[in-house]
Structure 1
Amino acid sequence: MELKRFLSLGLLLVGFIPMKLSAQQAQPLPTDPAVRVGKLDNGLTYFIRHNENPKDRADFFIAQKVGSILEEDSQSGLAHFLEHMAFNGTKNFPGKNLINYLETIGVRFGQNLNASTGFDKTEYTIMDVPTTRQGIIDSCLLILHDWSNNITLDGHEIDEERGVIQEEWRARRDANLRMFEAILAKAMPGNKYAERMPIGLMDVVLNFKHDELRNYYKKWYRPDLQGLVIVGDIDVDYVENKIKELFKDVPAPVNPAERIYTPVQDNDEPIVAIATDAEATTTQLSISFKSDPTPQEVRGSIFGLVEDYMKQVITTAVNERLSEITHKPNAPFLSAGAFFSNFMYITQTKDAFNFVATVREGEAEKAMNALVAEIESLRQFGITKGEYDRARTNVLKRYENQYNERDKRKNNAYANEYSTYFTDGGYIPGIEVEYQTVNAFAPQVPLEAFNQAIAQMIDPVKNAVVTLTGPSKAEAKIPSEADFLAAFKAARQQKVEAKKDEVSDQKLMEKAPKAGKIVSEKKDQKFGTTELTLSNGIKVYLKKTDFKSNEILMSALSPGGILSGKNAPNQSVMNSFMNVGGLGNFDAIQLDKVLTGRSASVSPSLSLLSEGLSGKTTVEDMETFFQLIYLQMTANRKDPEAFKATQEKLYNNLKNQEANPMAALMDSIRHTMYGDNPMMKPMKAADVEKVNYDQVMAFYNERFADAGDFMFFFIGNLDEAKMKPLIETYLASLPNLKRGDKMNKAQVPAARSGKIDCKFEKEMDTPSTTIFDVVSGNVEYTLKNSLLLEVFSAVMDQVYTATVREKEGGAYSVAAFGGLEQYPQPKALMQIYFPTDPARAEEMNAIVFAELEKLAKEGPNVEYFKKTIENLNKQHKESLRENRFWLEAMKASFFEGNDFITDYESVLNGLTPAELQKFAADLLKQQNRVVVMMAPVAKAQ
């Protein structure tokens, strides 16, 4: 469809027609010609696109318009159970052969190979598949074929998986999930959505007959409800022909069950749903206004694009307004935001305009009154011209950034877009059409249309749903539902005023500083960087890449950090409070407004050994970016009101942390590993009350006052000729105090040695024992040891999947991860984490340590070792096309003196199973072992 035709339709928008437009008036947006879309005779839909980002890789998805909502009462949890069984045997990949095969080509289970089950859809994904051999592509298509119609569902495998799913239920059933379930039952009483949580009922999961699962599979996994998505460095014609050949034997359903989307009823009176939990740590308020979704025939037209654009502008403007409130001390709520979603985030048949807020303990009604006042002001008066102008500018900038990066878009971005389009509807014309169309109609949609839309979406009477969740303790003062309903109705009658918008017309910087000079320049062939030395001593490293068209990343570091000063504030305190006041003449809210339409951000940070900056920008916003860097170094603004507001938020966030069992676990891990070292103590609510803002700002200014020993690293689509004048103006002009700061490496906290056990009990609603094990030892800080530790952890991941998860059904997942510490002396730490059934905790942890000892004595499973080397090689090749990866490599090499890049592949591929065995044995024989085990308090019988 031509742009002019889009434009003529766009002229109909005054009065916000999209919500009410008839299907006859809505012409579909064209499908992006770069994606091949087709449908087989049996009803199977497919989407195929050639894309070379990354090169020699592809993603393979199968999306199903099937989820837990289709289960009968006797099948609760079977949609999710079926997803698990897809990895436990298919016609052409019996047993674990599917996982084993994919891991031999570097596709790792749980990382690149995964699946998810929702209420209305299920998705299976094979990602970052190497496409260098045709046989790999054929095999992945065969896997999709088997998932479509040939999952084995062997009875023994079904029984083996029951325990795994029970442990997944145990691991995920926290306070938030319990309260969400309670809220669903009240917000949608009697509706299937309230009764079909995908994880299911454990009584069903542990006891269903095998044929119950087979019947569900046969009934719902069928080609008319399935969509294939293949995106990557593939031959589109070949893949399409292969799909036609492979999937022609999948039969079309005969007299298929109707796929009904469960309706959600309107409500004439407001619904109030309140849920509390002993482990809840914050009080959360939500006010939602339900509405019917736009019909797909309209959603897929230009009016769907207009609707999405308008919703983005509205939420951007509203969130700016709410953020401004929360930046003030004694604000009625601690944080707040607005967004559009499916109702309760799950329903396909009802949308919602949501307003959410985090509430101070005991002040739910006060927060609700204030939030309703903002909602009523929006409904009656809309957003202001200033809010609209800024929001529109920012939204159009987002479209522009996506358009500029259109040639660098990754496979998974396209694959997710097409999968969502298949299951949820919408449009896929491509960013070129979206960008041109939005820019054509945006100037024609007046502010009045947005405010009319807001008034439509916030009904004055109907379809309001208010939810409140929080701690169950008395101090939280959670009201009754009847009282909160009465308060909500009264709040909607309050008199409100239109927003008054205050905007500064000041420039970010009125005058540029006196420029310094670039005094030397040299090239580094190994890293492909240009090194500039400035007249004030700063070193700047520039690396031009073509990985993204319009991304520039920056990081800056200087030796010093928290350990450089006596009585320095805690690291968490510094990073929480040192950057809340804005920059120069602008507070944080004003600064956001000044930066409207510009993609530039800079943030400071303090670690134990260094201070630094990090940031991101685009080619066109480079000067703004450098101005932000200069101001962050020289004019970090002190704002007592912003400090007080931040202090209140943080205090309330931390106040109830002890109620969460995981907070107790993390505290115990830190204390067990590092003792009473003050540098490793987590920040508590009592600490927040004692923060001295003057001390924070004084320490910040002291650390950033001397720029002479800073190193700045820039990477991305750089133009050195254009950057050099900016570098001289904004970096070479920074002060050099010649302090010669050093890193106090010897003072870095060291993990304790020896065998240390910490076992304790904690009250919890869902009984679960969580285990954290650490094996550590001194090693040399080398690339080889770093890789051996990475291989060690990846091999153990596979070992524990096979033993603890699959053989024993003792955990949903056992995570093994290694870390190589350089200071105060080089040390390797192998860490293992998993939740399990309290009755089996000691048994499962014995297996964990037995498998470590087995590898140290007998060497690794050779297949696991080979698959790990293959996966790490594949990951490394992909990382070499990432700006973020090279930025970290530059910092490690030039600031820390560690080059872990140049010889990576040769060292990795030179590793042997015998070397891994020796590494593990050397680590274990040092006898440093930590076990932290948190168990539930035993219930009285």
Structure 2
Amino acid sequence: MELKRFLSLGLLLVAFIPMKLSAQQAQPLPTDPAVRVGKLDNGLTYFIRHNENPKDRADFFIAQKVGSILEEDSQSGLAHFLEHMAFNGTKNFPGKNLINYLETIGVRFGQNLNASTGFDKTEYTIMDVPTTRQGIIDSCLLILHDWSNNITLDGHEIDEERGVIHEEWRARRNAQLRMFEAILAKVLPGNKYAERMPIGLMDVVLNFKHDELRNYYKKWYRPDLQGLVIVGDIDVDYVENKIKELFKDVPAPVNPAERIYTTVEDNDEPIVAIATDAEATTTQLSISFKADPTPQEVRGSVFGLVEDYMKQVITTAVNERLAEITHKPNAPFLSAAAFFSNFMYIAQTKDAFNFVATVREGEVEKAMNALVAEIERLRQFGITKGEYDRARTNVLKKYENQYNEREKRKNNAYANEYSTYFTDGGYIPGIEVEYQTVNAFAPQVPVEAFNQAIAQMIDPVKNAVVTLTGPSKAEAKIPSEADFLAAFKAARQQKVEAKKDEVSDQKLMEKAPKAGKIVSEKKDQKFGATELTLSNGIKVYLKKTDFKSNEILMSAVSPGGILSGKNAPNQSVMSSFMNVGGLGNFNAIELDKVLTGRSASVSPSLSLLTEGLSGKTTVEDMETFFQLIYLQMTANRKDPEAFKATQEKLYNNLKNQEANPMAALMDSIRHTMYGDNMLMKTLKAADVQKVNYDQVMAFYKERFADAGDFTFFFIGNLDEAKMKPFIETYLASLPNLKRGDKMHKAQVPAARSGKIDCKFNKEMDTPSTTIFDVVSGNVEYTLKNSLLMEVFSAVMDQVYTATVREKEGGAYSVAAFGSVEQYPQPKALMQIYFPTDPTRAEEMNAIVFAELEKLAKEGPNVEYFKKTIENLNKQHKESLRENRFWLEAMKSSFFEGNDFITDYESVLNSLTPAELQKFAADILKQNNRVVVMMAPAAKAQ
């Protein structure tokens, strides 16, 4: 029997490691003792784990080893339809009671309560459930029980849901999906994977008989194909006993239908497929090499773990190589990446090693030759010793970081891991075993083992699949499939040479700057932070937390920003180009190599009002982190080649944006809201061609030259005593020009007032009218008003779900986003967005505005109001255990003087429906209303 390629990847290790170790590899990996795994007599599997991250919360999942691949022709789309129906009535939660109950405890539909349907699996999730009452845990287990065997599937509810799913289909059917379907039909002709897209066929969805759905449910939703996952602050014994009690009445299937996994055939000759679309904006080339997946009996052993480690090392090394190519001007492709996945990202019975490149318009053959050359270089010569060493170091660092954070791992991370293990197989020994095993093997596996594996994964003849997607316009110069195949075959005949690895042995900084001093220190009682003032005027705030074991976040901010300079570059231009050149003596590629094995990153930002830095590091990489901060402030490197490469990439990404209807919508929204204000202008391809790199870099250096008015915030598991020398060396040494910059708040563009309509038509493949509404009004910028706006938008979300989605079937979702902007003057904005059937657009938008007026006149639905307050309270308590939340809160308080944290709970819980009604009425009576409506145009003949 032929040895399968991915299986041989693990077995290759036998030739390179001591026999004692290799004999152990075939043994199954142990199951993490912290997770209780069991199976009931009816075949139901369960995974239960106690975890207190976050405390008083738990996640409840039910995973099903079934999906759209199991549908009959008359059932296309019913696996996904069934997922919807799980929220429309069960035995113990009729009608909408399931959603209503969970929202009363702060579990919000679409946010914490959700589901997804794939080709081979379906998953239902109830996340961040409060576990402070035993009854809540019991109710969530009862919901899982009902989903397993007691979804009602009422005929009236089925008919009501048809329109919702039709609108979901309409909302998601974009150019990428249409081309993907076309590619599948060519790559997998006659295969169910090409015929069973989960969304289904609308002719079936709109017309199937009720019993078709009931038959699918009865046939496939059964305990031998179901797995429960409960992770969180729960009593494991209690939950296990409750599962046994609840689920014992779920019958084991009698003569069950066999769960057959659809196979994907090998191919002796390359398969090619091309798909184009009038709304596509980029050309993408993909080359995949198929292989059978590793059998579960091997995948669940040390072989499987080491195979995954090897794949990570290989892709890390290859992607470094591809990035180096695209960092240069006139690169043969604009971007490229290598990765492993299921074949075509969906086939559970076939794996693939993928190479994907974004192609410059009209240069398909050039990109093909270059990408195939890199593939052949890999096949023939593998990765270099230097690439291997760097990749191995970086991958081992990831394992180390996960190991160090093992006590802080969150519920959803465990729940997703166990759910995937149940449906896909693999291993769950726990990070301790994974970390120890990988570190034991890594030193013994030489680069030669990796290169032998690569050579086996890239077959010189068989199992190649080459696809191309792009715009249908003539300028794209998309070849015929015959020419495309010929180009691929010719490219594989190229002669290539081994890669030459170039690495600098320079240090990130050869010499430390002359240190400054900490001149004052005091404690801030509100945040429990230490406030330092440095000799150059910089303020530093340090807050120690135990939320993560090895995470330190940083944010720095200074007044000024884009509005501080005359004729300053556009904000989008600055963001795109100001940081492409690397730091100090290293370009961006060299910098990545120098930082191998170090978890430290720093990025600059420029807004209209401020400039700043953000970053993340670990305890052991603190000095590297401070060096990066210093270099980002003083030695942002100018690299004309990197600028040119970035300019080419961005130009090509934007060149065809007008073909995408959503780009036209965004342009119209900006123009309708802000008129011709250049600060709010959307970046276009023509603008990219005009960018002056010298101007970009000069403005960057000017904004970051004066450190004296910067404020730095650090939060995490930090050691102040160890940080202070770095603060004095790398922060207190920064220059202070004493410019006294200010934020030019009055110059911030203001949204236009009055009633403004912008209705236009755009040619599109899938007819859909997309609507963007805004109502706005002047308010005071206070914590209370900000919370009222949050409540307002959350209540309207529920209103629109009940009316536009459920009652009318007029949209898959209506998103309401509320905010209070501080500048140029405080203003509340309610933004509402949804796509809908063109024939019902005006009708649905009338409902949207009628419901706003109804709330302003009659007050909010009291149940919606209560559920929103409960949800916001729950979210806030969860946020209090997040470093990033405190980082933003400190920045807002110390830099802008806004305290939106001290009285949050008391203000939130004091809000009343009457106050929300008045707040909404005060906004609406100002008569500021924007409607942007994009409808389909008649197609040109």
Is the TM-score greater than 0.5? yes
> Per the alignment, do residues 145 and 288 of structure 1 end up closer, same or farther by CA in structure 2, a change over 3 Å counting?
same
Residue 94 of structure 2 aligns to a residue in which SS?
coil
Q: In 2 relative to 1, CA 369–940 (structure 1 residues): closer, same or farther, beyond 3 Å?
A: closer
| Counterpart for residue 896 of structure 1 | 896
Given that 2:17 and 2:444 are in contact with CA atoms closer than 8 Å, whether structure 1 keeps it comes out as: no
1:940 Cα shift? 8.2
RMSD over equivalenced CA pairs, Å: 2.9
Residue pair 1:760, 1:935 contacting (<8 A) in 2 also: yes
Q: Which residue of 2 aligns with 1:178?
A: 178
Partner Cα separation in structure 2 for residue 187 and residue 20 of structure 1: 44
Q: Is the 8 A contact 2:10 2:307 kept in 1?
A: no
Write the distance in 2 (CA, Å) between the matches of 1:476 and 1:427: 45
Q: Could you tell me whether the CA contact under 8 Å between 1:116 and 1:124 is conserved in 2?
A: yes
Q: Are the structure 2 counterparts of residues 808 and 21 from structure 1 closer, same or farther at C-alpha, using a change threshold of 3 Å?
A: farther
How far the C-alpha of 1:348 sits from its partner, in A, is 0.6
Deviation of 1:939 (Å) = 5.0
Per-residue deviation at 1:311? 0.2
Counterpart in 2 of 1:131? 131
Residues 103 and 867 in structure 2, CA contact (< 8 A), matched pair in contact too = yes
- The alpha-carbon deviation at position 86 of structure 1 amounts to 0.1
Q: Give the superposition deviation at 1:576.
A: 0.5
- Which residue of structure 2 lines up, in the alignment, with residue 732 of structure 1? 732
2-side partners of 1:735 and 1:21: how far apart? 57
- Secondary structure of the residue aligned to 2:688 is helix
Structure 1 position 13, deviation (Å):
1.2
* 2:65 corresponds to: 65
* CA positional deviation for 1:850: 0.1
What is aligned with 1:452?
452
- Structure 1 residue 253 displacement after superposition: 0.2
Deviation digits for residues 824-870 of structure 1, max 9, x if unmatched?
Answer: 00000000000000000000000000000000000000000000000
CA contact (8 A) 1:23 1:297 kept: no
- Runs ≥4 in structure 1, deviation > 4 angstroms? 1-12, 14-25
CA contact (8 A) 1:337 1:355 kept: yes
Q: Deviations over 1:885-940 (max 9, x none)?
A: 01110110001110000000000000000000000000000000000000000358
- Structure 1 segment 290-309 matched on structure 2, within 5 A: 290-309=290-309
Deviations 1:93-152 (A, max 9, x none): 000000000000000000000000000000000000000000000000000000000000
Change (3 A) 1:3 1:605: farther
Question: What is the rounded CA distance, in whole Å, between the counterparts of 1:161 and 1:124 in structure 2?
Answer: 18
> CA offsets per residue over residues 33-66 of structure 1, 9 Å max, x none?
0000000000000000000000000000000000
For the residues of structure 1 that align with 2:713 and 2:818, how far apart are their CA atoms?
27
Displacement after TM superposition at 1:501 (Å): 0.2
CA spacing shift, 1:418–1:617, aligned 2, 3 Å = same
In structure 2, the CA distance between the partners of 1:316 and 1:701, relative to structure 1 (3 Å rule), is same
Secondary structure of 2:82 counterpart: helix
Q: 1:516 touches 1:733 (CA, 8 Å); kept in 2? A: yes
TM-score by length of 1: 0.98
> 1:22–1:298: 8 Å Cα contact kept in structure 2?
no
Q: Which runs of 5+ in 2 are unaligned?
A: none
Q: How far 1:27 sits from its partner (Å)?
A: 1.3
- Residue matched to 1:361: 361
Q: What secondary structure, in the 3-state scheme, does the structure 1 residue paired with 2:349 have?
A: coil
1:262-309 superposed Cα distances (whole Å, 9 cap, x missing partner) = 000000000001000000000001000000000000000000000000
Looking at structure 2, the residues matched to 150 and 752 of structure 1 have their Cα atoms a distance apart, in angstroms, of: 52
- After superposing the two structures, state which structure 1 stretch, 2-11 or 827-836, moved more: 2-11
Q: Give the whole-Å Cα distance in 2 for the aligned partners of 1:2 and 1:278.
A: 44
CA distance change for structure 1 residues 18 and 201 in 2, over 3 Å: closer, same or farther? farther
Contact 2:127/2:412 (8 A) holds in 1: yes
- 2: CA distance, partners of 1:10 / 1:256: 36
Q: Is the 8 A contact 1:14 1:446 kept in 2?
A: no
TM-superposed CA distance for 1:553, in Å, is 0.4
Q: Distance in 2 between matches of 1:415 and 1:626?
A: 36
The equivalences for 1:150-169 within 5 A come to 150-169=150-169
Q: CA 1:641–1:97 in 2, change beyond 3 Å: closer, same or farther?
A: same
Structure-2 change in CA distance of 1:775 and 1:16 (3 Å): farther
Contact 1:16 1:452 in 2 (8 A): no
**Contact between 1:537 and 1:736, CA under 8 Å: does it hold in 2?**
yes
Deviations 1:330-387 (A, max 9, x none): 0000000000000000001000000000000000111011000000000000000000
Q: Structure 1's 22 and 510: CA in aligned 2 closer, same or farther, altered over 3 A? A: closer
Deviation of 1:180 (Å): 0.3
CA shift in 2, pair 1:649/1:3, >3 Å: closer
Between the aligned partners of 1:22 and 1:69, the Cα distance in structure 2 is 38
- Deviates further, 5-14 or 145-154: 5-14
| CA drift at 1:819 | 1.2
Corresponding residue SS for 2:21: coil
Relative to structure 1, the CA distance from residue 825 to residue 244 in structure 2 (aligned partners, 3 Å threshold; closer, same or farther) is same
Q: Which residue of 2 aligns with 1:885?
A: 885
Specify whether residues 19 and 314 from structure 1 end up closer, same or farther in structure 2 by C-alpha distance, changes over 3 A only.
farther
CA-to-partner distance for each residue in 1:54-90, whole Å, 9 max, x for gaps? 0000000000000000000110000000000000000
Q: Does the CA contact (< 8 Å) of 1:19 and 1:294 recur in 2?
A: no
Q: Is the 8 A contact 1:283 1:360 kept in 2?
A: yes
Question: Is the 1:16–1:450 Cα contact (8 Å) retained in structure 2?
Answer: no
- Other structure's SS at 1:877 match: helix
TM-score by length of 2: 0.98
Distance 2:52 2:908 in 1: 26
The match for 1:242 is: 242
CA distance in 2, matches of 1:562, 1:6: 52
| Equivalent residues of 2:763, 2:939 under 8 A apart | no
Residues 188-230 of structure 1: per-residue CA shift (max 9 Å, x gap): 1110000000000000000000000000000000000000000
Q: Matched residue of 2:831: which SS?
A: strand
Tell me the CA shift for residue 11 of structure 1.
10
Contact 1:333 1:357 (8 Å CA) reproduced: yes
Deviations 1:608-663 (A, max 9, x none): 00000000000000000000000000000000000000000000000000000000
Identity rate of aligned residues, in percent? Answer: 95
Secondary structure of the 1:329 match is coil
Maintained 8 Å contact 2:7/2:294:
no
Q: Secondary structure at the match of 1:14?
A: helix
2:767 & 2:369 partners in 1: Cα distance?
38
The match for 2:609 is 609
Summarize the Cα distance change of 1:806–1:587 in structure 2 as closer, same or farther, 3 Å threshold: same
- Report SS of the residue matched to 1:3: coil
| Preserved contact between residue 18 and residue 303 of structure 1 (Cα < 8 Å) | no
The 3 A distance-change label for structure 1 pair 10 and 933 is: closer
Structure 1 residue 26, shift from structure 2 partner: 1.9
Aligned partner of residue 757 in structure 2, secondary structure: strand
Match in the other structure for 1:279: 279
Distance 1:24-1:56 versus aligned 2 partners, 3 A rule: closer
Q: Residue 44 of structure 2 contacts residue 226 of structure 2 at CA under 8 Å; is this kept in 1?
A: yes
SS at match of 1:765: coil
- For the pair 1:918 / 2:918, whether they are aligned, the reply is yes
Displacement of 1:18 in angstroms is: 15
Taking a change above 3 Å as real, the CA distance of residues 735 and 449 of structure 1, as seen in their structure-2 partners, is: same
Distance in 1 between residues matched to 2:815 and 2:6, nearest whole Å? 51
Q: Distance in 1 between matches of 2:18 and 2:823?
A: 60
Quickly say closer, same or farther: Cα 1:399–1:124, change in 2 above 3 A: same
Secondary structure of the residue aligned to 1:190 is coil
Find the aligned partners of 2:646 and 2:4 in 1 and give their Cα distance: 50
1:392-411 per-position Cα deviation (integer Å, ceiling 9, x unaligned): 00000000000000000000
Distance 2:752 2:197 in 1: 43
Going from structure 1 to structure 2, the CA distance change for 1:5 and 1:826 (only over 3 Å counts) comes to closer
User: Is the contact made by 1:18 and 1:306 (CA closer than 8 Å) also made in structure 2?
Assistant: no
